[in-house]
């Protein structure tokens, strides 16, 4: 599965992801999922997994995901407030504004 496939399944575009540094910064990654985690890129729940992905044409970006969106198929796709994305329709999840340090 390519990064484009992952972003499509999460219903997020590359420009919605925060730009990441040129190399993995472990302290910054830990802060993104620590005590006050960034929202999941897919559903807005608190992120539990993060990493830097290289998106062709957009560069390195942080991909923050909750436990469910990091697994396949994510159970968040049937959670109230989220329309099932298996239909190929646009997601209806409302993502909160990022907290300081997540944008």
- In angstroms, the CA 96 to CA 88 distance is 22
pLDDT of residue 81 exceeding 50: no
Which of the 8 DSSP states describes residue 39? B
- In angstroms, the CA 15 to CA 11 distance is 12
Q: What are the extents of the domains in the chain?
A: 3-75
pLDDT of residue 45: 94
Judge if pTM exceeds 0.75. Answer: no
In terms of phi and psi (left: phi > 0; alpha: psi -120 to 50; beta: otherwise), the region of 101 is left
Rounded average pLDDT over 47-70: 93
**Token pair listed for 77:** 């796709």
Rounded average pLDDT over 70-89: 49
Which of the 8 DSSP states describes residue 19? B
Q: Specify the 3-state DSSP secondary structure of 63.
A: strand
Strand-pair partners of 64: 50
């Amino acid at each position: 599965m390519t990064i484009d496939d992952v972003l499509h399944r999460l219903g997020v575009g590359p420009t919605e992801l925060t730009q990441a540094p040129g190399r993995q910064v472990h302290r910054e990654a830990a802060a993104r999922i620590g005590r006050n985690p960034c929202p999941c890129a897919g559903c807005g729940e608190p992120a539990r997994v993060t990493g830097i992905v290289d998106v062709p044409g957009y560069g390195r970006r942080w991909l923050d995901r909750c436990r469910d969106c990091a697994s396949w198929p994510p159970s968040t796709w049937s959670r109230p407030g989220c329309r099932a994305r298996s239909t190929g329709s646009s997601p209806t999840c409302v993502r909160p504004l990022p907290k300081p340090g997540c944008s």
